[in-house]
Structure 1
Amino acid sequence: MAWYDEDSFLTRGLGPYLSTILITALIAFTLPVFLHFFIFRAKTPTSLPTFLVIGPSGSGKTSLVTLFEKGAPSPTHLSQSPLSVRVSLPSTTKAASSKYRSENDPTLKLEKPLLLVDTPGHGKLRHFGLEHLNATPNLKGIIYVVDAASIPSSSTGSSSESGLADAAEYLHDILLVLQKRYTTAKSSKGPKDVPVLIAANKLDLFTALPAPLLKTSLEKEISRVRETRAKGLLTAGSGDADADDRGWLGEGGESKFEFRQMEEVNVPVQVVGGNVLGSEGPDVDKWWDWIGSKL
């Protein structure tokens, strides 16, 4: 039977037959429903833009996550495992993707969900945070929370009695993982950037170190950390290893470490102050603005 015969499948499929009309109407009405339930509804939480919340114990990570989730901080306890929380960008914060949209665009009023992954800060549990750096889908950035009230100025000398050494060591390890992620990439373009926000928390306290001084103190302490670890490896017999094999963070040579060096490996670092608690309430608008700029 040829395709142009009256009883052929193609002729009946394009002809004015009742069966053809019913099948066409059925497809027209069911296809949008199918797309809605099996594509839009099938999105899992892991498809959402994700931010890792990392930092030493007591820095205020969990309090920050609960504040972002509920709008108010609540009592917390020591985290022992990662916790993923879905939050929404505040209506007062504009996402970067909406920068050029009209104020009358109805999509601006739609909820912009994202995931915050709170990771433990205890020394024995930090492997959770380090593992998430390469295993988190749709990672948009890292929020490294630091207790600015526990870190002295770099001009005060030794940091053995403060949280500076602990904060710098953990931050060093995080940045080193991100650096190796770039240097070991097989693609010539390298992986996409992973911005880091150093959230200087508890700036409402009189003893808190301002964000610019916190930045300087962390850079100086990270320089000490990488030099100490390099000397340890040299003592262990790796004197012929190059800077990358030793796990040298930032530029090699005798230059001191600066956060700007991380931009060469697609890891821009920014230090921004704020506070989760305080007598006058939370001050986290700048942190929300940073998150919005990455969406």
Structure 2
Amino acid sequence: MAVDMDTAREWLTWSFSPTIGAMVFTLLLSLSLPILFHLFLYRQRAAVVVPSFVLLGPSGAGKTTLLTLRGTPTATHTSQAPQTVTCTLPTGITVESHKYRASDDPSTKKERQIEVTDTPGHGKLRQHAYDTITAAASLKGLIFVVDAAALSSPQGLSEAATYLHDTLLVLQKRHTGAKSSKGPAGIPVLIAANKLDLFTALPAQLVKKRLEDEITKIRSTRAKGLLDSAVDIEGDDEDREWLGEGGEGDFNFGQMKEAEIEVSVLGGNASAKGDEKTQVDAWWTWIAQQM
């Protein structure tokens, strides 16, 4: 032990001595420490989990078709279980966190990748989507795909609105049901109005209005059902079963901001045929803004 202490004192004395060797050693140490620190941070950055998004919506809305544009799903027919695909953002779409980074930065190429989980749209299989929402790591947003043409019919509108209502309710409960005083960060939702190339398709703003009006009816019907069943809905916010503010009156997506859920409605077309071009840049731009 005494020998080690003596050796340490000798090294310490030598390092402060005005010799060429000591000065060279100090210079190399001062130059190497920042490099080592940079490499450590770079490796930590490289280990960051890839941002994930959940793709959901009624069957036939075009979810899997959207994935085929930037990824390689295992099937294009009705899915029976969730499947996760790694996608790369299109060229020209800038990730929000990369706006002030050099365009030739090699690290940006890998960080343009995202994981998209396609969930079944069939009514009996939608629990898979809810489970994926609660279990997904690094979840950055939900993409709810609807067939803008199918919303013209009462049946298509009711199916899409019911699924969307239940999805938003899951997100709301996730936020208000937190044990801490501050709930988890809200998850943004994109309602992707697909198939706008069809003659019967509704424009994005009308899709928004139709869905809000239908959710108003669904919320009112369910609240009445709870009252008829003598269920107390005046309890704590954590236990509430209604969507949005108060559960009465007209519903609009702006009410979801109370649970830190930002809902956007953007139109597009992922099912181009022949010489037609897909129109999905607005959706990929929205995804990039969440990263």
Q: Please tell me the TM-score bracket, short chain as reference.
A: 0.7 to 0.9
Out of 207, 216, 231, the position equivalent to 1:214 is 207
Higher helix fraction (1 or 2):
2
Out of 156, 161, 165, the position equivalent to 1:168 is 161
Alpha-carbon separation, structure 2, partners of 1:77 and 1:143 = 19
Alpha-carbon separation, structure 1, partners of 2:186 and 2:205 = 23
Alpha-carbon separation, structure 2, partners of 1:140 and 1:240 = 31
Alpha-carbon separation, structure 1, partners of 2:109 and 2:205 = 36
Q: Which residue of 1 aligns with 2:290?
A: 294
Paired residue secondary structure (1:151): helix
- Amino acid in structure 2 at the alignment position of 1:173: D
Q: Which residue of 2 aligns with 1:147?
A: 147
Alpha-carbon separation, structure 2, partners of 1:136 and 1:199 = 21
The offset of 1:263, in angstroms, is 1.2
Out of 261, 264, 269, the position equivalent to 1:270 is 264
Q: Which residue of 2 aligns with 1:128?
A: 128
**Per-residue CA distance 1:64-120 (angstroms, 9 max, x = gap):** 1121215xx997111000100001112210010112235x55348624111000001
Identity %: 48
Judged with a 3 Å threshold, the aligned counterparts in structure 2 of structure 1 residues 13 and 87 are, in CA distance, closer, same or farther, namely farther
Normalised to the residue count of structure 2, the TM-score between the two structures is 0.82
Alpha-carbon separation, structure 2, partners of 1:269 and 1:240 = 25
Aligned residues: 270
Normalised to the residue count of structure 1, the TM-score between the two structures is 0.81
Instruction: Answer with 282-291 or 179-188: which moved more.
Output: 179-188
- Amino acid in structure 2 at the alignment position of 1:123: G
**Per-residue CA distance 1:150-171 (angstroms, 9 max, x = gap):** 0128xxxxx2xx3111111111
CA contact (8 A) 1:91 1:109 kept: no
Judged with a 3 Å threshold, the aligned counterparts in structure 2 of structure 1 residues 272 and 40 are, in CA distance, closer, same or farther, namely closer
Judged with a 3 Å threshold, the aligned counterparts in structure 2 of structure 1 residues 9 and 138 are, in CA distance, closer, same or farther, namely same
The offset of 1:188, in angstroms, is 3.2
Alpha-carbon separation, structure 2, partners of 1:63 and 1:202 = 11
Q: Which residue of 2 aligns with 1:66?
A: 68
Pairing of 1:89-108 with structure 2 (within 5 A): 89-102=89-102, 104-107=103-106
CA contact (8 A) 1:144 1:199 kept: yes
Judged with a 3 Å threshold, the aligned counterparts in structure 2 of structure 1 residues 168 and 243 are, in CA distance, closer, same or farther, namely farther
Judged with a 3 Å threshold, the aligned counterparts in structure 2 of structure 1 residues 263 and 14 are, in CA distance, closer, same or farther, namely farther
The offset of 1:191, in angstroms, is 1.3
Q: Which residue of 2 aligns with 1:190?
A: 183
Structure 2 gaps, min length 5? 16-24, 26-31
What is the root-mean-square deviation in Å for CA atoms of aligned residues?
Answer: 3.1
Pairing of 1:226-245 with structure 2 (within 5 A): 226-239=219-232, 241-242=234-235, 244=237, 245=239
Alpha-carbon separation, structure 2, partners of 1:174 and 1:253 = 16
CA contact (8 A) 1:219 1:259 kept: yes
Judged with a 3 Å threshold, the aligned counterparts in structure 2 of structure 1 residues 88 and 227 are, in CA distance, closer, same or farther, namely same
Alpha-carbon separation, structure 2, partners of 1:271 and 1:39 = 36
Paired residue secondary structure (1:271): strand
Alpha-carbon separation, structure 2, partners of 1:264 and 1:133 = 19
Q: Which residue of 1 aligns with 2:279?
A: 283
Judged with a 3 Å threshold, the aligned counterparts in structure 2 of structure 1 residues 264 and 229 are, in CA distance, closer, same or farther, namely same
Structure 1 gaps, min length 5? 22-27, 154-158
**Per-residue CA distance 1:22-67 (angstroms, 9 max, x = gap):** xxxxxx9xx89x969x8677x48xx210000010111111111121
Alpha-carbon separation, structure 1, partners of 2:100 and 2:197 = 35
Q: Which residue of 1 aligns with 2:78?
A: 78
